[in-house]
Amino acid sequence: MNKNKLIRIVFMSLSMCTIMSLCMTFIMVAINMGFTEGFIRAWLIGSGIGFLVALPIAFVVPMLVEKICDKLFGKITV
């Protein structure tokens, strides 16, 4: 794996983890708590936990899916 591909994978994983954890926890805290006094604190704590859970998944799952797709549909050369 070349350096550019590794940087791309790290950037994509961090970006997706951040965006997804913020969006998903915002909706879940809003549904479960409503927009109460402790909303922001609960949202930020939940986002941090969500990010830590999603980060290893974001690094592993895309590589596994890419390998499965390569086997099913053939490897794409760029």
Q: C-alpha 27: how far from its chain's center? A: 16
Global pTM value? 0.71
Greater pLDDT, 41 or 62: 41
Asked whether 58 and 40 are in contact (CB, 8 A), the reply is no
Q: Provide the terminal-to-terminal Cα distance of the chain, rounded to the nearest Å.
A: 14
Give the pLDDT band of residue 78 (cuts 50, 70, 90).
low
As for how many domains the chain has, the answer is 1
Q: What range does the domain containing 39 cover?
A: 3-73
Burial of 9 (0-12, 13-18, 19+ CB in 10 A): middle
Asked if residue 78 belongs to a domain, the reply is no
* Token pair listed for 4: 């550019």
Asked if residue 29 belongs to a domain, the reply is yes
Give the pLDDT band of residue 77 (cuts 50, 70, 90).
confident
Alpha helix ranges (H) inside 1-78: 3-33, 39-73
